[in-house]
Structure 1
Amino acid sequence: MISQDTLNFLKDVNLNNSREWFQDNKDRYEVARENVLDFTAAMITELAKTDLGVTDVDPKKAVKRIYRDIRFSKDKTPYKNHFGIGFSSVSTASKDTTGYYVHIMPGGSFAGGGYWQPTSEHVKAIRQEIDYNGAELKSIVDDPEYVKLFGDIRNENSLKTLPRGYEPTHTDISLLKIKDFIGMHTFTDAALQKPNSPKMVADILAKIYPLNEFLNNAIA
């Protein structure tokens, strides 16, 4: 589970985002990071019961750096006010791929996955798969439990115009218009602090697994 000390550290980073403060609180950061690593390891173990391919994911590689890349940003604060946990799904090792993501931030935590901003080549392949096999994707994203957790995938980020090569009368035109194939579910600080929170988050990610598999089959 995520400790209150970890959440308190992140709150303090948000209020005191400077290198001087961070250096004075480096020990707190190391403790918080170890807590997140332990949480990540337990979560991956649970998720592997659904997606066997994540069994070998290294928590140290999955937990993102807290240091911000400020080279091209107007925001020059040096540290993130959250811990990000991200790793690819089973079927591909490419950096352009489906995956899972967990965001731990006081008052703003969420988990989910899918494929955010797919390459143009992959968009074309996914649309072709929807054209051939839209019923399978519908069965995944229109399942009541999926909708309860993640909402309607069509509302996340869709084209305002028709995708090239498809007619407005296409049975699955609403799916073909999708640009980002993702689902995210928010949860409270209190939920993160429960002993079963790694399983709770893994259960959320497990509901993304069928979407990842559909997309991976399309881009394979």
Structure 2
Amino acid sequence: MDFKELFAFLRDLERNNSKEWMDANRKRYYKVRDGYISWLDDLNSTLEAIDKEYYSTPGKKGINRINNNLMFHPNKPVYKDHFGAGLDKAPNTADFYIQIGIHESMLAGGFWRPDSKTLQSIRDGIDYDGEDFKKILHKKSFQDTFGGLVEDQKLKTAPKGFSKDHPHLDLLKNKTFAVMHPIKEKEILQDNFKEKIVAVYKEMLPFRRYLNKTVTV
């Protein structure tokens, strides 16, 4: 994958964010997109080989649309400033998300503002064995890689059905259960980028497996 070409395309797209420009540069877009999909296919095979529970997700299935959803976000540009994809993407599970963009690139995973049923399942799991979850979150290598849960919306008090003096109240208040590892453009352009992804994937795996257990058991 020629990531320099990918970044150059995204920068040109940001300066000319319109359907007219995209139509005129459609061949260039497909060249970059197809290269990204092929790169995802290779990464998918690598991750599948190291994780026996991995859910194979080919690049075409994992890649996200580059169009913004203007129906729900009418003030956003027509096109995103990044390419994103989810791997290990079994239904109703926390996938492994990869975003490569000109303003923000990351490796992430978990559940971002899940529906009420999924959120309740996660909270029930924490209620049952939250100490195990905290051991994952507080592990030094995990903290060094992710710094803890992504800060997002939280309840001001205990969720319905849980006491205000619950020992894991700090976790139960969360509406998002996700982690993120930022990556710099210079890291993406290095030869060992895939090895870095694999290392982050492995570090995140116990976190994602814990969450997946809460929503599938």
TM-score w.r.t. the length of structure 1 is 0.88
Partner residue in 1 for 2:212? 216
- Contact 2:159 2:172 (8 Å CA) reproduced: yes
Q: CA deviation at 1:155?
A: 4.2
- With over 3 angstroms needed to count, the CA separation of the structure-2 counterparts of 1:123 and 1:197, relative to structure 1, is same
- Structure 2 residue 120 is matched with structure 1 residue 113: no
Separation of aligned partners in 1, 2:153 and 2:49: 31
- Alignment RMSD: 2.1
Answer whether contact 2:157 2:164 (CA < 8 A) is retained. no
Q: Secondary structure at the match of 2:64?
A: coil
Partners of 2:140 and 2:98 in 1: how far apart?
22
Q: Deviations along 1:99-139, whole A, 9 cap, x unmatched?
A: 11111101310111011112212222222211121111011
Contact residue 112 and residue 182 of structure 1 kept, 8 A: yes
Q: CA deviation at 1:143?
A: 0.9
Gaps of 5+ in 2: none
Paired residue for 2:82? Answer: 82
SS class of match (1:166): coil
In the TM superposition, what is the alpha-carbon distance from 1:57 to its structure 2 partner?
A: 1.1
TM-aligned CA deviation for residue 55 of structure 1 = 5.3
**CA 1:158–1:135: 2 relative to 1, 3 Å:** same
1:2–1:39: 8 Å Cα contact kept in structure 2? no
Aligned length: 216
Question: Secondary structure of the equivalent of 1:162?
Answer: coil
> Which residue number in structure 2 is paired with residue 14 of structure 1?
14
C-alpha deviations, 1:52-85, integer Å up to 9, x for none?
3435211111111222332343236332221011
5+ residue gaps, structure 1, are none
In the other structure, the counterpart of 1:93 is 91
Indicate whether 1:30 and 2:26 are aligned: no
1:178 positional shift = 1.9
Percent identity of equivalent pairs: 29
The offset of 1:2, in angstroms, is 4.8
Q: 1:132 to 1:72 in 2, by over 3 A?
A: closer
Q: Secondary structure at the match of 1:207?
A: helix
| Alpha-carbon offset, residue 156 of structure 1 | 4.1
1:139 aligns with 2:135: yes
Partner in structure 1 of residue 51 of structure 2: 51
Distance of 1:154 and 1:61 partners within structure 2: 26
Aligned to 1:148: 144
Aligned to 1:194: 190
Q: In structure 1, what is the Cα distance between the partners aligned to 2:198 and 2:33?
A: 19
Distance across 2 between alignment mates of 1:154 and 1:76: 23
- Distance 1:135-1:50 versus aligned 2 partners, 3 A rule: farther
Q: Which has the higher relative contact order, 1 or 2, with Cα contacts under 8 A spaced 6 or more apart?
A: 1
Residue 145 and residue 156 in structure 1: after superposition, are their counterparts in 2 closer, same or farther (change >3 A)? farther
Please give the alpha-carbon distance, in whole angstroms, between the structure 2 residues aligned to 1:125 and 1:55. Answer: 21
Match of 1:130 in 2: 126
